């Protein structure tokens, strides 16, 4: 299983990409698209290519550059392709769960699918598969949500083909999903009614592209056309682009895309992510000023907010940390000596820059606090006089059910510190900083340029916009957490509002 020593920040979910372009090298276009989306998932990568008669799938564990080589890509011929880079939020990190998923249909065709997000009614869908006579699924089986979606799509495709199958099935999915899928001829893409995760449509000279982020469109030379709307299904073939609205849109874009998940050069809902992060930094400077000599970022994700903090505070900006860009997820188990190096595998201080300085260190988020604790200690050892930590997001206190793999609620530092003097002071002591400040929820939302009612900020405020199921493992997890904290008793079969209230109170 891949490990990441002292991973920095929360873990992303997945990236999806799709191309319909007769006459183009769609496999290589998809490869470069996935390369641009690598930050969204580093456990596995895969590409499926169709030529009108058959579908070829190649996938494996590892980074995009590790999975594919020139010879493999040269062997994948067709006019339509979908690609996926994965981080597991449900289902184990195994080859079987790598995507695209492939399923044959009873009519002799195929379905291949890539999924970004996380469903909250997977157990309900598994029950439905059992009722349809599909073998191998139980409520507690280890199949991922992507697995059950692809299986049900293939089953439904018996009547009316894949497009009609999607139109019938997708309104029954609950949670966050961005899908790219295809048969032998047609590329499809769909987004959940809340639009939790981004999905964009782009135009090539001889075809079309769909991508989790607009930055990948830039990489392959596609021009941005528009966002795929929440609740929309599109089909792309020789007749062009067809659009169907499957569910009324109720937008709830994940605000954490603006804070950390998306690339800074991507545009989400007409807002450049980098601009949002710089503005968060400016607001952070107003909300939590500090007496410092230099503002330094935790690269790379903290850099735009640090630029904004320097602009808002008037304190000079400097690069005080160097990041090893080639350290990521690895299949090589580290020795104990290497493990003890911890954060130094990824970050190293520029001693001549920081020695004798009062530092304002800007990072995107604090999850467990291990990284910040090690970072503060490293900066002091390198000669910093003071270390003032500023965080470009509010405290992460609630679990995400929509596709971000945060630590469990009990592991989140904002929930686990001694809060006798207040949570902020407890976290400050835990990481060893001279002072600590988080941007407010309101400041973060205003910086995103989006309306607050059209954003999901559940990991920060505990308000879940998508109803949680009554009988899923989530309710069991909440009951277990409640028992651990000892503050709440929950019925054996709580309704979704009780679950949400319980999580919020915890």
Q: Residue 188 above 90 pLDDT?
A: yes
Average pLDDT taken over every residue of the chain: 87
Question: Is 456 one of the annotated binding-site residues?
Answer: yes
What average pLDDT does this structure show over 140-154?
Answer: 89
Best-predicted range by mean pLDDT (1-10, 129-138, 486-495):
129-138
Percent of the chain past pLDDT 90, that is, above it, reads 69
Query: Which two structure tokens, joined as six digits, stand for 40?
Result: 């969204």
What average pLDDT does this structure show over 209-223?
Answer: 98
Q: Are 311 and 281 in contact (CB under 8 A)?
A: yes
Q: Are 233 and 175 in contact (CB under 8 A)?
A: no
Give the start-end residues of each E strand in 53-199.
55-61, 80-86, 101-104, 110-119, 175-182, 187-191
**Active-site positions?**
14
> Of the candidates 193, 182, 174, 162, which has an alpha carbon nearest to the alpha carbon of residue 16?
182
Please give the pLDDT value at position 243.
98
Q: Residue 164 above 90 pLDDT?
A: yes
Query: Which two structure tokens, joined as six digits, stand for 26?
Result: 């769609």
Give the Cα separation of 498 and 503 in Å (integer): 9
User: Against a cut of 0.75, is the pTM above it?
Assistant: yes
Question: Is 178 one of the annotated binding-site residues?
Answer: no
Q: Residue 258 above 70 pLDDT?
A: yes
Q: Are 209 and 226 in contact (CB under 8 A)?
A: no
Using the 8-state DSSP alphabet, how is residue 97 labeled?
G
Question: Is 400 one of the annotated binding-site residues?
Answer: yes
Give the Cα separation of 448 and 253 in Å (integer): 11
Question: Is 364 one of the annotated binding-site residues?
Answer: yes
């Amino acid at each position: 299983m891949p490990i990441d020593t002292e991973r920095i920040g929360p873990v992303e979910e997945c990236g999806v990409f799709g191309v319909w372009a007769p006459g183009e090298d769609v496999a290589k276009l998809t490869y470069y698209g996935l390369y641009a989306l690598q930050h969204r998932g580093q456990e596995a990568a895969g590409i499926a290519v169709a030529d009108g008669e058959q579908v070829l799938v190649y996938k494996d564990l590892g980074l995009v550059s590790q999975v594919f080589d020139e010879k493999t890509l040269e062997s994948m011929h067709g006019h339509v392709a979908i690609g996926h880079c994965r981080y597991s939020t449900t289902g184990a990190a195994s080859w079987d769960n790598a995507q695209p998923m492939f399923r044959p249909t009873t009519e002799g065709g195929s379905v291949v699918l890539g999924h970004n997000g996380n469903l909250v009614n997977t157990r309900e869908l598994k029950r439905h598969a059992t009722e349809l006579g599909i073998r191998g699924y139980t409520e507690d089986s280890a199949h991922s949500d992507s697995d059950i979606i692809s299986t049900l799509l293939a089953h439904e495709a018996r009547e009316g083909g894949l497009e009609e199958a999607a139109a019938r099935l997708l309104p029954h999915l609950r949670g966050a999903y961005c899908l790219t899928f295809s048969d032998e001829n047609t590329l499809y893409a769909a987004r959940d009614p809340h639009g939790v995760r981004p999905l964009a449509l782009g135009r090539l000279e001889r075809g079309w592209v769909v991508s989790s982020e607009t930055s990948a469109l830039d990489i392959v030379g596609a021009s941005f056309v528009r966002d795929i709307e929440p609740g929309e299904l599109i089909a792309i073939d020789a007749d062009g682009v067809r659009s169907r609205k499957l569910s009324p849109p109720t937008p709830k874009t994940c605000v954490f895309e603006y804070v950390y998940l998306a690339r800074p050069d991507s545009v989400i809902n007409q807002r450049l992510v980098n601009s949002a992060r710089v503005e968060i930094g400016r607001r952070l400077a107003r909300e939590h000023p500090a007496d410092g000599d230099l503002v330094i970022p935790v690269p790379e994700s903290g850099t735009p907010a640090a630029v904004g903090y320097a602009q808002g505070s008037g304190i000079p900006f400097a690069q005080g940390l160097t990041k090893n860009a080639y350290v990521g997820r690895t299949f090589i188990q580290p020795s104990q000596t290497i493990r003890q190096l911890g954060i130094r595998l990824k970050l190293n201080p520029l001693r001549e820059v920081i020695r004798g300085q009062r530092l304002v260190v800007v990072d995107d988020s604090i999850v467990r606090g291990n990284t910040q604790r090690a970072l503060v200690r490293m900066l002091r050892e390198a000669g910093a006089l003071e270390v003032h930590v500023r965080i470009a997001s509010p405290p992460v206190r609630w679990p995400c059910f929509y596709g971000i793999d945060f630590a469990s609620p009990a592991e989140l530092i904002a929930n686990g510190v001694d809060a006798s003097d207040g949570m902020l002071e407890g976290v400050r002591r835990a990481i060893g900083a001279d002072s600590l400040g988080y941007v407010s929820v309101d400041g973060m939302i205003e910086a995103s340029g989006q309306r607050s009612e059209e954003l999901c900020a559940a990991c920060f405020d505990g308000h879940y916009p998508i109803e949680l199921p009554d009988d899923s493992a989530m309710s069991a997890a909440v009951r277990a957490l409640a028992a651990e904290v000892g503050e709440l008793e929950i019925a054996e079969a709580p309704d979704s509002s009780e679950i949400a209230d319980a999580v919020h109170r915890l």
